[in-house]
Amino acid sequence: MLAIVLALGGIVGVAVLGRSDEAKVDLAKVDLNTLEAGLKQFRFDFNRWPTDDEGLAVLWNQERLDPDADPEQWRGYLEQPLASDRWGNEFGYTAESEFSEDASQYDLWSNGPDGEEGTDDDITARPMGDDLDDMMGGDDGMLPPP
């Protein structure tokens, strides 16, 4: 009887843990959407994306603002810092996309559960690389607007 209870507990535990992993991925996607919203507001105010030096931290920390920028234009774009993904790793951000020749694009991603960049579990704010080509039906290099 005890063996049956333990076996059932193990099955339930595996199912719950699997759902927990899925939930973390879903929450990471929500976090990326939140960061994108902050980036868009920043761009509206400054007519540019944050520089790589400013990084995502400029969305919640005015001290990260480029010294040449007008600090009067800055406002808190995120109420709370969102520097790390659901696995404790920093979000990746580059002001110029490596996957688009369009200067109005940036890259934003989480390295996903394994914490390794460039693996299958990476989570991106928008399709990058081969995923983009598949989505667009070719390799025309176009991305959806930010």
Q: What are 84-143's pLDDT values in tens digits?
A: 999 999 999 999 888 777 767 899 999 999 999 999 999 998 755 444 333 333 343 333
- For residue 2, pLDDT over 70 is answered with no
Structure tokens at 76: 């808190």
Share of the chain above pLDDT 70, in %: 72
Q: State how far the alpha carbon of 34 is from the alpha carbons of 6, 28, 63, 142, in Å.
A: 41, 10, 21, 23
Q: 27-136 is classed in which CATH architecture?
A: 2-Layer Sandwich (3.30)
Q: For residue 81, which of 52, 58, 53 has the smallest C-alpha distance?
A: 58
Greater pLDDT, 5 or 93: 93
pLDDT at 104 (0 to 100)? 74
- Band (30; pLDDT cuts 50, 70, 90): very high
Confidence of residue 146 (pLDDT cuts 50, 70, 90): very low
CB 106 within 8 A of CB 93: yes
Domain range annotation of the chain: 27-136
